């Protein structure tokens, strides 16, 4: 949601190291970050704060796993959920980037409404715009999907009404193949 | 393969379509289907629009859209595609530069498309296609043909339709072209302002393939049949025929199918036929149905009509093969009411005959039954395992006394019958006691002066047989062989009836069915006096796995202990103690071969009275040769040959096996024919020889027909026909007689089921 | 020579549904002969272990011999019976098979009334033959 921007961010991790040179704090080992409705999980997270107080985070996945990001959408009971090798969160632009083996899912309640896979997905929470990039030559983003291709699955809007049931067909005359009439 | 099915046993794994693979997507499911998008880049706003670039693909249910760029607006389900757009909707494909389409409603337009229909592989191109809904589309300034493109720049389709607009309706499976011209080898032969044609073999109004012929009787003959699909349960076919030497014959057939009755009415009318200088007409109505009387006690009554009548005695000669009565010179008008309740049934019937006399071959007209009332009561499994039945019949026989030389009569008979059937897998025994009582009332005195007569005849028959089985093998094939000996004893005392007139009796053929029946005569005017024992045996070779009968041989002979004195008027008593030996064989050794023979051989005279020998060889589709010899001593001796064979086989071109009803590929010639030779008349009685050419997207047919119309004259005729595959309705051909008379004759394009949409899957 | 009286056929199923029309005489004779065997019961489709689908149960009569003056001399009578045996779930036990019986019958226009009765005799004889073959085919089914 938009309100997440000015919510406090709290972080749990195995260890914390403050890197003075880049002015970033580096969390390591099963990092879990919550900020309003945003939830981030990853193996290693670098968090940086700019002078105006916006926070930027780079989440890289633990070996063999994917970094995970989840956020509630504005004004709708829906969640955006994404996974990738690395996730970059830009607090100022309120934009999340999922890089390599990226997958973005929109959950309506428990059910998955839409699902996108590609090598680079950017999701702009403010303008609710997403772009999915295959990135030519990059490895396949999902099983069965050729390299450099993206895939999206959109489910129909729930308001689609079911059409009226079709009436039972009347008794049918079977067409005889002959015009000469069967010799019966 | 359906995972839930038990694992296939050892042997070649068989892949079967799982029932969940649905051919058609039901309308209720369609809105709920997800949309799959893929491409190189995608962007968009969730729930609003998605733009995909770089070989974009949209797939939902049975529709796939491929293009360079694809915009999909989710709120109004609108897809906009540009750059080599390709749609595949349930097998029908459209290709072109730009498209706008509401996917579920399948509404939109497509510019400069090239299209191909799964149904009959017809294709073409057009200026624009407007999709009205998922079943209907209008193609502007379009072409349509089923002649598949062959390599080489100079190739042109053999036939093509150019139309201002073609309206395709997949629900009705009909195409409707307006401002159309059909050109055949670049020659416009059928400029038709308005024209509808079938997309499939479903019934649909429209022109049928015209038949063109030359005939020594009719001159030039052109028939242009028109089929009118009035309603799903009613249709009519009109076949107006222009005959230059005689005039115009208006023929038609109307069929109706209602809830409790159905029927077919065929009729033709020819004003002033110059051949005989009079009006000619003929009709035949076949109707069957039930009438619910509504009366509690009565319930419903069955009504069956089979009425045939023609204008004159030469009708059968001048309108060959057009009537629906099998016996062209004997036309029945038969109406019957039937009623049944439990074990009791009642039949009221009136049967009159129109005999087309010919001075050179007169026919003694059979008797009319005006009326015939039959009451029948039968009970099975009575106490003691008895079956009993009583049948009463009252008939007024009427005919032309000058021809039959017999008085007409009112006859009533009752036939009471009691049997005690013992039935077991290994044997059966059926004793039967019959009592046949008849009384006549003649409308003119017999030679003896009597005007009435009566006769009561009891009959006892014992029918028994055993069934032995063993495993055996012949010519290297394992069989389950059966041996079924049978004995049939019948005793009927002599009752004098030889000088009674005969109305409905005649000698029955001598075959394996009649040799085990009590009366040597059919009908009820002659009950043959018998004291005879028939001994016979049948052996069958059965395939142990399927139980199919590969061969059957039978032999039977009658031992007569007393002469048979009852005869038909003018017949002689039967005095041989040993009847002719009856041999029978039916062999279906392999699917290609089948022979069937019943030969009756008289050891004393070394001659046969009744023999039928037939064989058929059909190794595959469109290949059959069948021949039959049928002898009925002093009545007819006929040789019947029929064949359908591809001529290309002669020079080794066996053609491809495209399955039944699809022909065997392009450029193939097929010879077809049926010859019926009467050895007694020493004449070729009925000869039809045809040549069919299969050019892949059209069929040409030439047929020469020679029909004997009297011992001295015959009709000779040549017929031509063109059929455009996927355009004119198929299967209706002037060779209707071939389909009847050559067993396993196959049309080159048979009613084909719609190919599965998965056969053209992107 | 190895011949033994035929024993009762052992069917691998106990109940069967017969898909013939009510008015089909062949269907009724088949039901009677199955019921008389005692081992198998004829039941409606929903309670049957196996279902006999009948796609064609048709009597045909064709002219096969005409003399020079247009009089019919030979008819061929045929009974064509196409069937398939499957389990209610749809597993095919016997693929679609056509049983065809044919008999030739001589004919003379004057004796048409008697030939009508003889025709019925031949149709009944063919019908009994087809029912017997069907019983053997049903008994030949090994596994369900």
- Degrees, nearest 5: CA angle B323-B630-B567: 90
Asked whether the beta carbons of residue C63 and residue A184 sit closer than 8 angstroms, the reply is no
Residues of chain B predicted below pLDDT 70: 1-23, 190-193, 198-204, 206-207, 209, 321-323, 659-661, 728-738, 740-741, 750-755
For residue A163, list chain B residues with Cβ-Cβ distance below 8 A. 27-28, 31
Q: Is A69 on the interface with B (CB under 8 A)?
A: no
Asked whether the beta carbons of residue A184 and residue C62 sit closer than 8 angstroms, the reply is no
Which is it for strands A111-124 and A78-84: parallel, antiparallel or unpaired? unpaired
pLDDT of residue A144: 58
Start-to-end CA distance of chain C, whole Å, equals 34
Choose the mutation target among B26, B30, B42 for the interface with A, i.e. most A CBs under 10 Å.
Answer: B42
CB pairs under 8 A between A and C: 5
Tell me which residue in A136, A149, A173 faces B235 most closely, judged by beta carbons: A173
| Chains contacting chain C through 3 or more C-beta pairs under 8 A | A, B
Residue of chain C with shortest Cα separation from B316: C70
Residue of chain B with shortest Cα separation from A171: B233
Tokens read off for B285:
């109505």
Radius of gyration of chain A (CA): 25
Name residues whose C-beta falls within 8 Å of residue A21's C-beta, 6 or more positions apart in sequence: none
Tokens read off for B525:
């005017």
Tokens read off for A95:
């934009």
Restricting to B residues 217-246, those with a Cβ less than 8 Å away from any Cβ of A are: 225, 227, 232-235, 237, 239
Higher pLDDT, residue B175 or C26: C26
Residue of chain A with shortest Cα separation from B36: A153
Residue-wise pLDDT for B677-735, tens only, equals 989 888 888 888 989 898 888 888 888 888 887 778 888 888 887 788 877 654 345 55
State phi, psi for A122 to the nearest 5 degrees.
-115, 135
CB atoms within 10 A of CB C12: 15
Residue-wise pLDDT for B188-207, tens only, equals 876 666 777 766 666 667 66
Q: Is A68 helix (H, G, I), strand (E, B) or coil?
A: strand
**Is the preceding omega at residue B371 within 30 degrees of 0, hence cis?**
yes
| Chains contacting chain B through 3 or more C-beta pairs under 8 A | A, C
Restricting to A residues 96-115, those with a Cβ less than 8 Å away from any Cβ of B are: 106, 114
Asked whether the beta carbons of residue B41 and residue A153 sit closer than 8 angstroms, the reply is no
The nearest CA of chain B is from the CA of C138 a distance in Å of: 8
Nearest residue to B46 via CA among B67, B64, B69, B73:
B73
Does pLDDT of A95 surpass 50? yes
Tell me which residue in A134, A162, A166 faces B41 most closely, judged by beta carbons: A134
State phi, psi for B383 to the nearest 5 degrees.
-55, 140
Q: Judging by beta carbons within 10 Å of its beta carbon (0-12, 13-18, 19+), is residue B134 exposed, middle or buried?
A: buried
State phi, psi for B385 to the nearest 5 degrees.
70, 20
Report the C-alpha gap between A61 and B80 in whole angstroms: 38
| pLDDT confidence band for A126 (50 / 70 / 90) | confident
Does pLDDT of C46 surpass 50? yes
Choose the mutation target among A176, A178, A180, A183 for the interface with C, i.e. most C CBs under 10 Å.
Answer: A183
Nearest residue to B658 via CA among B696, B625, B619, B701:
B696
Report the C-alpha gap between B113 and B129 in whole angstroms: 7
Beta strands in B199-277 (DSSP E): 206-207, 211-215, 219-223, 226-231, 234-243, 247-257, 261-273
Asked whether the beta carbons of residue B237 and residue A178 sit closer than 8 angstroms, the reply is no
Report the C-alpha gap between B426 and B750 in whole angstroms: 45
Q: Is C46 helix (H, G, I), strand (E, B) or coil?
A: helix
Tell me which residue in A118, A129, A156 faces B31 most closely, judged by beta carbons: A156
Name residues whose C-beta falls within 8 Å of residue A118's C-beta, 6 or more positions apart in sequence: A102, A132, A133, A134, A135, A141, A149, A150, A151, B42
Q: Is C122 on the interface with B (CB under 8 A)?
A: yes
pLDDT of residue B714: 84
User: Contact A84/A100 with Cβ under 8 angstroms?
Assistant: yes
Q: Is B704 helix (H, G, I), strand (E, B) or coil?
A: strand
DSSP state of B91: T
Asked whether the beta carbons of residue A133 and residue B255 sit closer than 8 angstroms, the reply is no
Residue of chain B with shortest Cα separation from A140: B40
Asked whether the beta carbons of residue C102 and residue B596 sit closer than 8 angstroms, the reply is yes
State phi, psi for B24 to the nearest 5 degrees.
-110, 145
pLDDT of residue C53: 92
Restricting to A residues 144-183, those with a Cβ less than 8 Å away from any Cβ of C are: 183
pLDDT of residue A180: 34
Asked whether the beta carbons of residue B237 and residue A179 sit closer than 8 angstroms, the reply is yes
Q: Is B45 on the interface with A (CB under 8 A)?
A: yes
Query: How far is C-alpha B362 from the chain's CA centre?
Result: 32
For residue B471, list chain C residues with Cβ-Cβ distance below 8 A. 2
pLDDT of residue A178: 37
Question: For B575-614, b where at least 16 C-beta lie within 10 A, e where not — what string?
Answer: eeeebbbbbbebbbeeeeebbbbbbbebeeeeebbbbbbb
Restricting to A residues 145-184, those with a Cβ less than 8 Å away from any Cβ of B are: 145, 148-157, 160-163, 165-166, 169-173, 175, 177-181, 183-184
pLDDT of residue B21: 64
Residues of C with a Cβ under 8 Å from any A Cβ are 60-63
User: Contact A25/A33 with Cβ under 8 angstroms?
Assistant: no
For residue A149, list chain B residues with Cβ-Cβ distance below 8 A. 38-40
Question: For B352-361, b where at least 16 C-beta lie within 10 A, e where not — what string?
Answer: bbbbbebeee
Name residues whose C-beta falls within 8 Å of residue B70's C-beta, 6 or more positions apart in sequence: B37, B39, B51, B52, B53, B56, B57, B58, B79, B80, B81
ipTM rounded to 2 decimals: 0.73
Residue of chain C with shortest Cα separation from A182: C60
Asked whether the beta carbons of residue B517 and residue C121 sit closer than 8 angstroms, the reply is yes
pLDDT of residue B284: 92
Residue-wise pLDDT for B570-605, tens only, equals 888 888 888 788 999 999 888 888 888 888 887 777
Residue-wise pLDDT for B397-454, tens only, equals 999 888 888 899 999 999 999 999 888 888 999 999 999 999 999 998 988 888 999 9
pLDDT of residue B391: 95
- Degrees, nearest 5: CA angle B638-B517-B366: 55
Tokens read off for A25:
């704090």
**DSSP H or E segment with residue C112:** helix C112-139
| pLDDT confidence band for A182 (50 / 70 / 90) | very low
């Amino acid at each position: 949601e938009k309100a997440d921007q000015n919510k406090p961010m709290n972080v749990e991790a195995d260890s914390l190291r403050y890197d003075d040179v880049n002015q970033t704090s580096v969390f390591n080992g099963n990092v879990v970050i919550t900020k309003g409705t945003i939830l981030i999980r990853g193996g290693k997270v670098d968090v940086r704060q700019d002078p105006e107080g916006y926070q930027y985070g780079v989440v890289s996945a633990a070996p063999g796993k994917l970094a995970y990001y989840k956020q509630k959408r504005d004004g709708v009971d829906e969640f955006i959920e994404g996974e990738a090798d690395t996730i970059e969160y830009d607090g100022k632009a309120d934009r999340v980037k999922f890089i390599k083996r990226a997958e973005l899912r929109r959950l309506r309640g428990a059910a998955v409404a839409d699902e996108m896979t590609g090598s680079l997905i950017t999701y702009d929470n403010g303008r609710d715009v997403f772009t999915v990039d295959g990135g030519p030559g990059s490895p396949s983003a999902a099983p069965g999907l050729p390299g450099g291709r993206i895939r999206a699955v959109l489910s129909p809007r729930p308001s689609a009404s079911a059409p009226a049931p079709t009436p039972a067909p009347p008794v049918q005359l079977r067409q005889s193949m002959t015009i000469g009439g069967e010799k019966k | 393969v359906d995972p839930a099915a038990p694992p296939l046993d050892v042997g070649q794994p068989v892949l079967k379509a799982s029932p969940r693979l649905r051919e058609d997507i039901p309308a209720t499911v369609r809105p709920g289907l997800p949309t799959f998008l893929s491409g190189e880049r995608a962007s968009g706003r969730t729930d609003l629009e998605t733009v995909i670039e770089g070989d974009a693909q949209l797939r939902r249910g049975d529709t796939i859209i491929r293009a360079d760029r694809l915009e999909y607006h989710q709120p109004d389900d609108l897809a906009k595609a540009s750059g080599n757009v390709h749609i595949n909707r349930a097998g029908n494909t459209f290709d072109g530069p730009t498209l706008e389409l509401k996917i579920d409603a399948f509404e939109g337009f497509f510019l400069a498309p090239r299209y191909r229909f799964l149904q009959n592989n017809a294709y073409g191109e057009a200026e624009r296609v407007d999709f009205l809904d998922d079943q209907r589309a209008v193609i502007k300034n379009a072409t349509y043909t089923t002649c598949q493109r062959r390599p080489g720049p100079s190739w042109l389709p053999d036939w093509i339709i150019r139309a201002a607009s073609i309206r395709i309706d997949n629900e009705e499976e009909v195409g409707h072209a307006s401002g159309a011209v059909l050109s055949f080898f670049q020659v416009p032969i059928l400029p038709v302002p308005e024209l509808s044609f079938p997309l499939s073999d479903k019934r649909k109004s429209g022109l049928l393939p015209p038949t063109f012929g030359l005939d020594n009787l009719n001159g030039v003959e052109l028939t242009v049949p028109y089929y009118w699909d009035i309603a799903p349960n009613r249709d009519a076919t009109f076949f107006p025929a222009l005959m230059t030497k005689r005039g115009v014959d208006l023929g038609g057939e109307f069929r109706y199918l209602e809830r409790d009755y159905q029927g077919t009415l065929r009729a033709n009318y020819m004003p002033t036929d110059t051949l005989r200088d009079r009006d000619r007409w003929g009709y035949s109505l076949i109707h069957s149905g039930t009438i619910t009387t509504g009366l509690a006690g009565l319930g419903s009554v069955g009504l069956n009509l089979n009425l045939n009548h023609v204008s004159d005695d030469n009708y059968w000669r001048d309108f060959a093969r057009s009537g629906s009565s099998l016996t062209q010179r004997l036309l029945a008008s038969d109406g019957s009411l039937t009623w049944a309740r439990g074990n009791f049934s009642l039949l009221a019937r009136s049967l009159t005959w129109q005999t087309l006399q010919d001075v050179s071959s007169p026919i003694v007209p059979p008797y009319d039954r005006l009326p015939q009332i039959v009451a029948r009561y039968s009970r099975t499994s009575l106490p003691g395992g008895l079956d009993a039945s009583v049948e009463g019949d009252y008939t007024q026989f009427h005919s032309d006394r000058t021809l039959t030389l017999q008085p007409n009569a009112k006859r009533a008979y009752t036939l009471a019958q009691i049997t005690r059937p013992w039935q077991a897998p290994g044997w059966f025994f059926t004793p039967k006691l019959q009592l046949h009582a008849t009384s006549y009332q003649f409308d003119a005195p017999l030679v003896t002066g009597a005007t009435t007569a009566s006769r009561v005849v009891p009959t006892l028959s014992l029918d028994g047989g055993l069934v032995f089985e063993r495993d055996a093998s012949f010519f290297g094939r394992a069989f389950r062989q059966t041996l079924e000996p049978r004995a049939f004893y019948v005793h009927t005392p002599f009752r004098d009836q030889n000088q009674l007139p005969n109305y409905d009796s005649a000698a029955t053929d001598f075959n394996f069915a009649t040799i085990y029946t009590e009366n040597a005569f059919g009908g009820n005017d002659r009950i043959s006096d018998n004291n005879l024992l028939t001994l016979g045996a049948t052996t069958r070779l059965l395939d142990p796995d399927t139980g199919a009968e590969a061969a059957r041989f039978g032999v039977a002979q009658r031992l007569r202990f007393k002469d048979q004195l009852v005869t038909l008027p003018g017949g002689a008593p039967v005095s041989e103690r040993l009847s002719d030996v009856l041999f029978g064989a039916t062999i279906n050794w392999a699917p290609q071969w089948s022979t069937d023979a019943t030969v009756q051989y008289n050891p004393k005279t070394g001659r046969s009275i009744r023999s039928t020998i037939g064989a058929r060889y059909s190794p595959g589709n469109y290949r059959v040769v069948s021949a039959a010899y049928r002898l009925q001593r002093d009545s007819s001796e006929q040789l019947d040959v029929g064949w359908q064979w591809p001529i290309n086989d002669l020079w080794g071109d066996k053609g491809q096996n495209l399955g039944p009803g699809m022909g065997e590929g392009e450029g193939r010639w097929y010879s077809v024919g049926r010859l019926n030779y009467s050895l007694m008349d020493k004449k070729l009685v009925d000869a039809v020889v045809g040549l069919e050419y299969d050019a892949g997207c059209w069929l040409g047919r030439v047929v020469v027909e020679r029909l004997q119309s009297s011992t001295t004259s015959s009709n000779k005729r040549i017929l031509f026909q063109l059929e455009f595959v996927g355009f004119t309705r198929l299967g209706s051909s002037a060779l209707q007689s071939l389909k009847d008379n050559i067993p396993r004759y196959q049309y080159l394009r048979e009613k084909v089921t719609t190919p599965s949409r998965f056969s053209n899957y992107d | 020579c190895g011949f033994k009286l035929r024993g009762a056929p052992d069917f691998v199923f106990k109940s069967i549904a017969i898909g013939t029309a009510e008015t089909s005489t062949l269907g009724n004779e088949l039901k009677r002969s199955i019921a008389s065997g005692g081992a198998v019961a004829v039941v409606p489709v929903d309670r049957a272990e196996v279902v006999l689908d009948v796609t064609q149960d048709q009597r045909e009569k064709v002219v096969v011999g005409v003399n020079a003056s247009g009089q019919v001399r030979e008819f061929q009578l045929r009974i064509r019976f196409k069937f398939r045996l499957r389990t209610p779930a749809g597993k095919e036990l016997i693929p679609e098979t056509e049983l065809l019986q044919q008999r030739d019958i001589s004919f003379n226009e004057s004796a048409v009334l008697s030939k009508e009765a003889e025709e019925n005799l031949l149709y009944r004889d063919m019908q009994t033959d087809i029912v017997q073959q069907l019983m053997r085919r049903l008994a030949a089914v090994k596994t369900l």
